[in-house]
């Protein structure tokens, strides 16, 4: 037998740890023993029924995990046995532009997620780690969504380069990956946080300047001061509709805004004049591809610092981990250590 965290009725209070049959791989499949998982804000919205209440129930939540292939089905090379792997948020998106079908088939809703001791995948739906000892399982587990999203937005979409500037909102996983990626790219990093402690930690990680967005609701004025009145080249917009107007004011003429999060809401009245007059590029991002993960992985091994993990919770503390995510006090990522099997 195995065990999985499932939700049969929407709501954090309905997360339950259940015994489940231990699956066997079929032809062309592998069995993965999952070692660590990482939480994303999307996972919280899914469990609460706020992301897509039409997702099938019961549902195993979460999309990001590191594990080990422990069994292979017929037609699969035995050389994959004992290989360490990462899951992919969009298992069908390997490279290039995402197809509609790939974006409709994502882990943790509608597909079963990773809060299970064992899962069955096809090998191409996984990313094989050639050097698993380079990071801890919990650190590896942070890459598939938060890390890949930041890489896709800054490197692929915005084509960030040395000498440019980036604005980061908050200190969640995407923002801190964005900070690390921007620094190795040679860009100037401005970061907003309401916590003095978090601002100090961001400076230690390499942020060039930090400010309190609550103390200064018109923080675009601070951004302009930091950029000699020009504005930043790129905004990693994790706040949502509530922060987008200030982000528009913070961006230089011809700049780029990557829309990612909805922490401040998804709907609001928006004056689009600033977008037009500045000729801004505003582009939404839904994580990224396996190729993006490959590029991020290579950068992690050769140039970047370790991913930032706020705290790792044990298998029986999954509800506490979600509660911590809900409170929003974390710096970096919240992870889950799965029991050894």
Residues 136-163 have pLDDT tens digits of: 999 999 999 999 999 999 999 999 999 9
CA pair distance 86, 99, nearest whole angstrom: 21
Q: How confident is the model at residue 270 (pLDDT cuts 50, 70, 90)?
A: confident
Whether the upstream peptide bond of residue 58 has omega within 30° of 0, thus cis, is yes
Q: Per mean pLDDT, which range of 17-31, 102-116, 129-143, 265-279 is the poorest?
A: 265-279
- Residues near 150 by Cβ (< 8 Å), separated by ≥ 6? 174, 175, 177, 178, 181, 236
Mean pLDDT rounded to a whole number for the chain: 94
pLDDT of residue 1: 83
Residue 320, CA distances (Å) to 77, 281, 289 in order: 39, 39, 30
pLDDT of residue 277: 81
End-to-end CA distance of the chain: 11
Q: Which CATH number is 2-142+307-337 given?
A: 3.90.180.10
pTM: 0.93
pLDDT of residue 262: 58
Residues 68-83 have pLDDT tens digits of: 999 999 999 999 999 9
- Residue 329 pLDDT greater than 90, yes or no: no
pLDDT of residue 261: 65
**Taking Cα atoms as reference points, which of 123, 106, 119 lies closest to residue 40?**
106
Q: Per mean pLDDT, which range of 25-34, 249-258, 270-279 is the poorest?
A: 270-279
Residue 271 CB-density burial (10 A; 0-12 exposed, 13-18 middle, 19+ buried): exposed
Helix axes 173-184, 290-302, angle to 10 degrees: 60
Report the 10 Å Cβ neighbour count for 83: 20
Q: Per mean pLDDT, which range of 3-17, 210-224, 258-272, 314-328 is the poorest?
A: 258-272
Contact between 63 and 37 (Cβ < 8 Å): no
Residue 167, CA distances (Å) to 8, 62, 75, 186, 334 in order: 39, 28, 48, 14, 23
Q: How confident is the model at residue 267 (pLDDT cuts 50, 70, 90)?
A: low
CA pair distance 70, 84, nearest whole angstrom: 10
pLDDT of residue 236: 96
Q: Per mean pLDDT, which range of 145-159, 256-270, 308-322 is the poorest?
A: 256-270
pLDDT of residue 264: 45
- Residue 85 pLDDT greater than 70, yes or no: yes
Domain spans of the chain, in order of start: 2-142+307-337, 147-284
Q: Which CATH superfamily is domain 147-284 in?
A: NAD(P)-binding Rossmann-like Domain (3.40.50.720)
CA pair distance 91, 36, nearest whole angstrom: 18
Pick 192 or 328 by higher pLDDT.
192
């Amino acid at each position: 037998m195995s065990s999985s965290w499932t939700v049969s009725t929407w709501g954090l209070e309905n997360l339950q740890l259940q015994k489940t049959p231990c699956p066997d791989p079929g032809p062309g499949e592998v069995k993965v023993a999952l070692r660590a998982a990482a939480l994303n804000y999307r996972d919280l919205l899914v469990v609460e029924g706020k992301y897509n209440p039409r997702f099938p129930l019961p549902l195993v939540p979460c999309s990001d995990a590191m594990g080990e292939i422990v069994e292979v089905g017929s037609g699969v090379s035995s050389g994959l046995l004992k290989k360490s792997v990462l899951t992919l948020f969009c298992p069908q998106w390997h490279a290039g532009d995402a197809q509609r079908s790939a974006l409709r088939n994502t882990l943790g809703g509608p597909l079963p997620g990773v809060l299970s001791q064992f899962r069955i995948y096809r090998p191409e739906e996984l990313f094989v780690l050639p050097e698993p000892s380079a990071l801890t399982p919990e650190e590896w587990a942070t890459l598939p969504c938060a890390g890949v999203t930041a890489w896709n937005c800054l490197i692929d979409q915005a084509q960030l380069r040395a000498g440019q500037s980036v604005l980061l909102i908050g200190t969640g996983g995407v923002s801190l990956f964005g900070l690390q990626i921007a620094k190795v790219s040679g860009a100037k990093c401005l970061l907003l946080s309401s916590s003095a402690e978090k601002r100090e930690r961001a400076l230690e990680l390499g942020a060039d300047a930090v400010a309190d967005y609550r103390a200064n609701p018109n923080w675009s004025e601070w951004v302009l001061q930091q950029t000699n009145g020009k504005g930043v080249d790129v905004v990693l917009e994790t706040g949502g509709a509530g922060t987008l107007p200030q982000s528009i004011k913070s961006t230089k003429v011809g700049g780029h805004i990557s829309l990612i999060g909805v922490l401040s809401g998804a709907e609001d009245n928006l004056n689009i004049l600033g977008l037009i007059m500045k000729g801004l590029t505003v582009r939404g991002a839904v994580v990224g591809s396996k190729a993006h993960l490959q590029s991020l992985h290579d950068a992690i091994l050769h140039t970047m610092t370790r991913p930032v993990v706020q705290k790792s919770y044990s298998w029986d503390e999954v509800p506490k981990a979600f509660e911590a995510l809900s409170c929003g006090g974390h710096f970096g990522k919240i992870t889950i250590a799965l029991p050894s099997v």
